[in-house]
A and B are shown apart, each in its own frame.
Chain A
Amino acid sequence: MQTATEIGANHTGMDISPTAEEMLENTELTEPRGDERELAKLRAEYGSEADPVGTLPQTEGSLALLMDKLGERLAFERSGARLYDALMVKCKTGGAKIAAQELQHIRDEEAMHFALCGAAIQSLGGDPTEQTPCADVAGVEGMGLMQVLTDPRTTVAQALHAILVAEMTDNAAWEELIELAQPIGNDDLVARFQKAQENEAHHLEKVRAWYKAATMEALD
């Protein structure tokens, strides 16, 4: 596996193209029609008529947002465990100087957070098997991350960059969950969320350091 970005025959830029000059003529040869604002207008028109991506089932009004966000966290942590599964393979293949036990530890914590979210949803009278609207949208957000992790051509540093995106989001999301859980007065739940947030802060710190090291290593 490639461990660093190499110098090679990249064909995408114009500087190496023998026909760049003719290509450049395109700008002058085009006489565009219409007003670019039409695009935003059409998007807005669809936006005003759109149905939601989905709904929550019967939930006590004050809990609705919390349940949606717990569903999102559950989905994200479950995917997070899978991201680390892929990262462990990448690190092993790429000869990364990251202890496998450390990766395994984070991976297991992501799986525990998934279970924690499921238990919290159940304790509040919800169904942890349900895919909430925010869970669905978070799945869309994360589609590119797994593509990066499982592409055999990506380097450890590139994979860690994708993990960094996930961990930064994860940290912000646990903070939000704690804020949403506090008003319902369930101290035990808040305490467990705070513990999860501490874990996530630790993950972020580790991933930042690994990413930096892997990127610098590529310079050597």
Chain B
Amino acid sequence: MKGILQEKGVALEKQRLTWRDMVQKPISKLDDDAYTRVRVILMNGIELEASRFSHACARMNPPALQRLLADVRIVEQHQATLINWLVGPDHSPLEATIAYEQVAIDVTAGVAMREPDPYLAQVYRFGLLEDFDHLYRYSALLDRLEGKDANNILQSYTDILPARPTLDHHRAPQDNVRKPYDRKKAAPLSKLHALTIMAAEQQTHNFYMNIGPMYADPVARQLYAEIASVEEQHVTQYESIIDPEESWLEKWVLHEVGEVYNYYGCMQQESNPRIKALWERFCDYELGHLQVALAAFKKFEKRDPEEIVPQELPEPIPFASQREFVRETLANEVDLRADGSEIVEKDKESKASLRYRKEVNANGSPSETISAGYRWAPGSELKLKVA
């Protein structure tokens, strides 16, 4: 996509959605391609991050900017609603969880494969192997609690395999803080990747925190408690790779560019014509938001947007099966651990993390309990046992 600074999109004052617009027909859990749901979940995460960032920004800036942020934020609220409400009510929270992990795996893998900064690529691969293991644990829970096959959600695009064991994901807080990219040197793609993955992980963390207590089964309640804690670490990891020296307005502009970029990627790859039209519409909305952010950037910071916005957007993040890349990463990097901001070999892991892990796992490991003796089989593990 070229010349996004010149694209005016839909003017903000024309971006009004009725409640009827927001609550549309959901996508089909059975008939739509899994990547349509992946895009829906990702874009909900992107919109929710836009909202969270905008609130934080408003709390730290003068009323003139607060007003502009509020104007854009209410539209983003309604966009997030429309998108999130596309997930059909026949998804149990656990089936939705499987889909959230598919987002975390295949989108992060797509990012890791194309990330130009080797350190950041390493960080994405590190997080990827943890979300990959979460999928295995949740698939065991889905089979053993609801009697359902996670592959009905994954549609054979994403493997269900144990990876770096979830019980080893728990680290001392300082071992989750990574090094930021340099805002002056980083490629635009690196900035877009970081914002995208941070947004996806943040919504996953929030989702698990909301639905975890809705389960009656103590094993499920424990598993969500454990994995939500890892997702909190992932949010810490991914927000720390973003340069904190970016000004508030620079961050706002980058958020809007990121939204344009991701909607553009969705509309390029969408297989459902109704949803494709929606991505196109919202891409135009975001171009309108970008214009508001750019005007604020020029007015308040007296800076040239070309300093931070590329003339041409990079190629979109792919929405596709990354089986080969994930298996290769699993084979090569399953034993990596963290020491401060660095990803290290297992024997170099920080002592603080080892101590912390011992403490939180002292009464057992929910992720080990739910998956004890579990291997995925088409339909259910029951097939392996009744044969």
**Stretch of B121-129, B200-208, B365-373 lying at the A interface:** B365-373
Chain B residues 344 to 373 lying within 8 A of chain A, measured CB to CB, are 364, 368-373
Chain B residues 162 to 205 lying within 8 A of chain A, measured CB to CB, are 162
Chain B residues 13 to 63 lying within 8 A of chain A, measured CB to CB, are 25, 29-34
Inter-chain CB contacts under 8 Å: number: 99
Q: Note all chain A residues with C-beta closer than 8 A to B160.
A: 26
Q: Does B218 contact A (CB under 8 A)?
A: yes
Interface string of A36-69 (1 = CB under 8 A from B): 1111001100100000000000000000000000
Q: SS class of chain B's interface: helix, strand, loop or mixed?
A: loop
Q: A38-B369, A43-B218 are in contact. Are A30 and B156 (CB under 8 A)?
A: no
Report how far A17 CA is from B158 CA in the complex, Å: 12
Q: Is the CB of B372 within 8 A of A10?
A: no
Nearest chain B CB to A196 CB, angstrom units = 30
**How many residues in B have their beta carbons less than 8 Å from beta carbons of A?**
42
Q: A22-B156, A33-B372 are in contact. Are A8 and B161 (CB under 8 A)?
A: no
Nearest chain B CB to A180 CB, angstrom units = 26
Other A-B pairs, 14, CB within 8 Å; known A17-B157, A19-B157, A38-B368: A8-B31, A10-B30, A10-B31, A12-B153, A19-B323, A22-B323, A26-B376, A31-B162, A32-B371, A32-B375, A39-B219, A42-B369, A147-B90, A152-B25
B residues neighboring A (CB under 8 Å): 25, 29-34, 88-90, 136, 144, 151-153, 155-157, 159-162, 216-219, 222, 321, 323, 364, 368-378, 384
CB-defined A-B contacts under 8 Å, sample of 22: A10-B31, A11-B31, A11-B33, A12-B151, A23-B151, A26-B159, A27-B375, A32-B162, A32-B372, A32-B373, A35-B372, A35-B373, A36-B372, A36-B373, A36-B374, A38-B368, A38-B369, A42-B369, A43-B218, A46-B218, A151-B89, A151-B90
A residues neighboring B (CB under 8 Å): 8-12, 14, 17, 19-20, 22-24, 26-27, 29-39, 42-43, 46, 140, 147, 151-153
